[in-house]
Amino acid sequence: MIAASGASVIVLLFLLLAEKLREQKKIAGETARKFVHITVGVFVASWPFYLSQFTMVCLSLAFLVVILVSRRYHIFYAIHNVYRKTWGDVLFPIGIGLTAVLAYNPWIFSAAILHLALADGMAAIVGEKYGKAHAYKILGQKKTIEGTAVFYVISLLIVMILVFLAPTGLGHVALPLLLWLPLIATMVENIAPRGADNILVPLTVCVILNSLVLFG
């Protein structure tokens, strides 16, 4: 109970900090949104090491309620005030909850959520700042070469840490995992419409890693 309460408070503090920075005009738009995306996501990646699966699912549902209320009453502009149509803010906690249910072990959950937090979050920030001259569209979604490259590189780093440093038992499939998982995750992020990558990316990573641990 104490750990769950502490986790809830920390997530709320990240939301309030983002809102404060937005009000002070230190961050805005997509950067403000991705600040929450990255900070909360990295924190959530640590959850399975001290929270039960049930608690993680409950916290995800509570986070979803907060997001829906905020959308309705315009509470946290930092996570809603973007120029494009997206359901990413709503799908973010849903993706976390589903990954918590499906992940075979804590390391798989963490790897999946870090793809959501770091790879996806940094790709959006870099793409917006540096990729305007190299934009392209897939299924009507605007992407950038720079953002896509950042996603791939961060995904590769996450997988390398998972394979070589974490006790996951994936060493025997290191080469195919390093070759294919970052590529597949990057492709999923590219084609997911209107924030659906917040569900599809972590679930794709989770399912692939689950399969390799259980059947590889």
Residue 51 half-sphere exposure toward CB, CA atoms < 13 A: 27
- The model's pTM: 0.94
Phi, psi values for residue 212, rounded to 5°: -70, -35
Pick from 209, 198, 211, 203: which is nearest to 63 by CA?
198
pLDDT of residue 83: 61
pLDDT of residue 145: 93
pLDDT of residue 84: 62
Range of the domain at 61: 2-215
pLDDT of residue 25: 81
Q: Which tokens go with 132? A: 């305007």
> Please, what are the averages of pLDDT over each run of 10 residues along the chain (216 residues)?
87 89 80 89 97 97 94 80 74 97 97 97 90 80 92 98 91 93 97 92 98 87
Q: How many domains does the chain have?
A: 1
